[in-house]
Amino acid sequence: MATSETPSVELTTRVEMAPGIPAPRAAKLRALGLTNVGRLVAHLPFRHEREEAEVPIGELAEGVVSSARGEVTATRPVFAGRKPRFEAVLVDDSGRLDLVWFNQMWRRGQIQPGVRLLVQGQARRVGSKMQMANPRCWVLDDAKGDPEMGEPRLRPVYPAGGGLKPWEVEAAVRAVLPHALPLIEDHLPDTYRCARALPLLRDAYRMMHEPKDEQEVDDARRRLAFDELLLLQLAVFMKRAELRETLRAPALRWDERIDARVRERFSFTLTGAQERVIREIVADVTTERPTNRLVQGDVGSGKTVVALYAMLLAVASGHQAALLAPTEILAEQHFANLSATLKGSDVRTALLTGTTQDAERESVLRRLESGEIDLVVGTHALLTGRVAFKSLGAAIIDEQHRFGVHQRAALRTKGESGEKDVTPHVIVMTATPIPRTLAITLFGDLDVSTIDELPKGRTPIRTALAPVEARGRVYEAVRRRLEAGEQAYIVVPTIEGAEMGEKALIGVRDLLAELEAGPLAGRRLAALHGRLKRATREHIMARFRAGRIDALVATTVIEVGVDVPNATVIVIEHAERFGLAQLHQLRGRVGRGDKPSDCFLIADPTTEDAQSRLAAIAETTDGFALAEKDLELRGPGEVFGTRQAGVAPFKVADLVRDRELLALARKDAEAWIARSPKLGAEDESLLLRRTQKAHGEFFGLGDVG
């Protein structure tokens, strides 16, 4: 069907209606979510391949797309192996090139010895020969002349799938690009854009899809990555400004007398880092501006003490305090430690978790509301709607990365109309050190304090990688430790084992039986995992703490926070199955007292990834270095899980590569919002709309456009 006039194209034009896209291709594009012209243009190539001009075969270089021509001297179909392949040898005066096509047996009818071919693809050295796999290929015919090859260029390679080839996506993008580019409006005011030497948005898209050279790709990438980072940071600072305008927290009291009373509770001298962080917290919580502070510190660095300081300030000021932990075991342990620390004081405490019995729960809830409880420790259960505080002054959230960021909002109490809503000072603690770049991205509205010093007298943990064959020797070493009166953790990935081909995965139960019957016979062992009843778990932990159990055979329920200084050895079975952060957390269960500790990683790493992880963990005990490494190996989405982190993953920006860009975006966004808190200026309206569209829902920013 031919139309006489070109239909007008909008960014919202459906791909089916767009010029130059055949119907079957449009249907496949739609299936990939590329439903309209705008989305198609926003679908960016993930890399570019340099296409070189034609060269003699002898001059083919590796790693670039180039073309060459010659005569076929031999062919052969090969049916061995997983994929049938068709091979041919192409020669010219300068050399020989091996060609191979997989699953393209039909080439047999097209290519025979004596045929002249033009091929295009990436050559690769295989042994002493040059090979091109799955090249594009044209049979040359002097009568017809050369095929249309186009100029040498940088070819965009697109994410594709669903029956679409990358080049089909490319063809569709090329078809709509000239129509779409003029329609792309820039959300950055010109003066700002020029000051930062950023190209126009429409130019950036053009340079991404049809770059003249590498420099254009870099410039385009920089603009698009910067946009992602800037929009996120603008949202973060807008939200912060909004909160400061609508929320207040009770200003806590601090004076030397209160300080001395709090410190009386600690049986040790605080480290310099703890002192510094306490000063930062005191400066925060003594004002009405709600504190939002992330305290990060490596495992064992003593974050809980710092948290306790803040909580006791709240109590001393006549308010309440809450400590939220991610698991029941951890809540129970915090509660046990707190109770011991506060013994003999008149601070009234309570524990509230998902398994607190109904009667007790009702009583705790009632006393929280009436103010008869000063300090409550709990799990997420504390965040459910039914919990009302008389006056919550400080909320401490342990292991923040396990909480949805949104849950922090649940701690707020509505103020009387016209008043600001009242919120506690919130301090989140994490022992999963977050590289600073990531922290300010994910928790951008938080101030960050770092405890970067361990209490004195800790001896570093020795980490050893052991192949499965060496298990016997590992448990021999464990036995000697237990005989010396020390304790151990033995960790496996699952409660029940599993048969996995020739490699069996050992579970808690089987391992317990194996150890009791063999290497650790006569020692007091117990299993600990999430499927046990809470009372049972508590009982086991209490006995382990009291030294009446020698070794726990456990799942990762012991991953965070469990603190028993006499435990000096941890064995991790199937260590290749754990992530880097997890391994570091697990290892942090030992090395908490003054005796030297050992961590044995029994592993059978089959993937390169697992090998890098294990090498990294064996090499350093510095959680920050490991966190950086983790980020590098897995990327931020994986490290924090987008769902937990809440922030949409970036399409272009890369937090490892674009650190400097992030710092710039953050600095600019902060200044921008200070100047124009609501992005209300005329030349900011598109910027506002796009910020709201990208992040408004997550941050709850005004109307989501």
Tokens read off for 235: 């949202």
As a three-state string, the secondary structure of 202-232 is: HHHHHHHHCCCCHHHHHHHHHHHHHHHHHHH
Among 370, 384, 377, 392, residue whose Cα is nearest residue 341:
377
Among 303, 309, 316, residue whose Cα is nearest residue 252:
316
Tell me: does residue 302 bind ligand ADP (CB under 6 A): yes
Site size toward ligand ADP (CB under 6 A) is 16
CA pair distance 679, 698, nearest whole angstrom: 18
Residue 459 or 642 having the CB closest to ligand ADP: 459
Residue 135 or 297 having the CB closest to ligand ADP: 297
CA pair distance 441, 575, nearest whole angstrom: 30
- Any idea which residue has 């002097």 for tokens? 142
- Contacted entry of Mg ion, ligand ADP, none for residue 317, CB cut-off 5 to 8 Å set by kind: none
Q: Name residues whose C-beta falls within 8 Å of residue 332's C-beta, 6 or more positions apart in sequence.
A: 351, 353, 534, 537, 538, 541
Task: Supply the minimum distance, in Å, between the C-beta of residue 561 and Mg ion.
Answer: 4
- Contacted entry of Mg ion, ligand ADP, none for residue 519, CB cut-off 5 to 8 Å set by kind: none
Tokens read off for 418: 């016209």
Residue 120 or 450 having the CB closest to Mg ion: 450
User: Which position among 584, 592, 595, 666 is part of the footprint of ligand ADP (CB under 6 A)?
Assistant: 592
Task: Supply the minimum distance, in Å, between the C-beta of residue 558 and Mg ion.
Answer: 13
Tell me: does residue 558 bind ligand ADP (CB under 6 A): no
Tell me: does residue 450 bind ligand ADP (CB under 6 A): no
Residue 134 or 341 having the CB closest to ligand ADP: 341
Entry field: residues in the chain: 705
Among 332, 231, 287, 177, residue whose Cα is nearest residue 650:
231
Tell me: does residue 271 bind ligand ADP (CB under 6 A): yes
Is residue 322 within 8 A of residue 378, CB to CB? The reply is yes
Tell me: does residue 268 bind ligand ADP (CB under 6 A): yes
Q: Which of residues 352-381 bind ligand ADP (CB under 6 A)?
A: none
The DSSP 8-state label assigned to residue 695 in this structure reads I
User: Which position among 44, 243, 299, 569 is part of the footprint of ligand ADP (CB under 6 A)?
Assistant: 299
Tell me: does residue 270 bind ligand ADP (CB under 6 A): yes
Tell me: does residue 455 bind ligand ADP (CB under 6 A): yes
Q: Which amino acid is at 249?
A: A
Residue 329 or 431 having the CB closest to ligand ADP: 431
Query: Applying CB under 6 A, which part among 70-78, 239-247, 300-308, 692-700 lies near ligand ADP?
Result: 300-308
User: Which position among 301, 320, 400, 568 is part of the footprint of ligand ADP (CB under 6 A)?
Assistant: 301
Is residue 306 within 8 A of residue 379, CB to CB? The reply is no
Give the residue nearest to ligand ADP (CB).
302
Task: Supply the minimum distance, in Å, between the C-beta of residue 234 and ligand ADP.
Answer: 33
- Contacted entry of ligand ADP, Mg ion, none for residue 329, CB cut-off 5 to 8 Å set by kind: none
Task: Supply the minimum distance, in Å, between the C-beta of residue 647 and Mg ion.
Answer: 25
Residue 337 or 611 having the CB closest to ligand ADP: 337
Tell me: does residue 563 bind ligand ADP (CB under 6 A): yes
Residue 397 or 603 having the CB closest to Mg ion: 397
Residue 248 or 401 having the CB closest to ligand ADP: 401
Tokens read off for 59: 């001059």
Residue 13 or 582 having the CB closest to Mg ion: 582
- Contacted entry of ligand ADP, Mg ion, none for residue 301, CB cut-off 5 to 8 Å set by kind: ligand ADP
Q: Name residues whose C-beta falls within 8 Å of residue 209's C-beta, 6 or more positions apart in sequence.
A: 41, 44, 45, 156, 173, 174, 177
Task: Supply the minimum distance, in Å, between the C-beta of residue 685 and ligand ADP.
Answer: 46
The DSSP 8-state label assigned to residue 506 in this structure reads P
Tell me: does residue 605 bind ligand ADP (CB under 6 A): no
Task: Supply the minimum distance, in Å, between the C-beta of residue 469 and ligand ADP.
Answer: 34
In this structure, is the dihedral angle defined by the CA atoms of residues 349, 354, 360 and 366, taken in order, positive or negative? Answer: positive
Q: Which region, left, alpha or beta, applies to residue 562 given φ > 0 means left and ψ of -120 to 50 means alpha?
A: beta
Query: Applying CB under 6 A, which part among 51-59, 212-220, 266-274, 536-544 lies near ligand ADP?
Result: 266-274
The DSSP 8-state label assigned to residue 598 in this structure reads E
Query: Applying CB under 6 A, which part among 105-113, 264-272, 490-498, 539-547 lies near ligand ADP?
Result: 264-272
Task: Supply the minimum distance, in Å, between the C-beta of residue 565 and ligand ADP.
Answer: 6
Burial of 436 (0-12, 13-18, 19+ CB in 10 A): middle
User: Which position among 300, 393, 605, 636 is part of the footprint of ligand ADP (CB under 6 A)?
Assistant: 300
User: Which position among 173, 229, 294, 305 is part of the footprint of ligand ADP (CB under 6 A)?
Assistant: 305
Rg (the chain; Cα; Å) = 32
In whole angstroms, how far apart are CA 268 and each of 244, 305, 457? 37, 10, 12
Q: Which of residues 418-437 bind ligand ADP (CB under 6 A)?
A: 431
Strands 551-554 and 487-491, how do they pair? Answer: parallel
Query: Applying CB under 6 A, which part among 302-310, 471-479, 538-546, 674-682 lies near ligand ADP?
Result: 302-310
CA 95-101-104 angle, 5° bins: 145
- Contacted entry of ligand ADP, Mg ion, none for residue 455, CB cut-off 5 to 8 Å set by kind: ligand ADP
Tell me: does residue 235 bind ligand ADP (CB under 6 A): no
CA pair distance 181, 210, nearest whole angstrom: 12
Among 673, 693, 692, 664, residue whose Cα is nearest residue 445:
673
Is residue 601 within 8 A of residue 576, CB to CB? The reply is no
Which stretches of the chain bind Mg ion, using CB under 5 A? 561
CA pair distance 602, 472, nearest whole angstrom: 11
Among 228, 202, 42, residue whose Cα is nearest residue 664:
228
Residue 106 or 268 having the CB closest to ligand ADP: 268
Tokens read off for 600: 């044995």
Task: Supply the minimum distance, in Å, between the C-beta of residue 300 and ligand ADP.
Answer: 5
- H helices of 449-533, in order, are 471-483, 508-517
Tell me: does residue 336 bind ligand ADP (CB under 6 A): no
Residue 338 or 655 having the CB closest to ligand ADP: 338
Question: Residues in the site for ligand ADP, rule: CB under 6 A?
Answer: 268, 270-271, 274, 297, 299-305, 431, 455, 563, 592
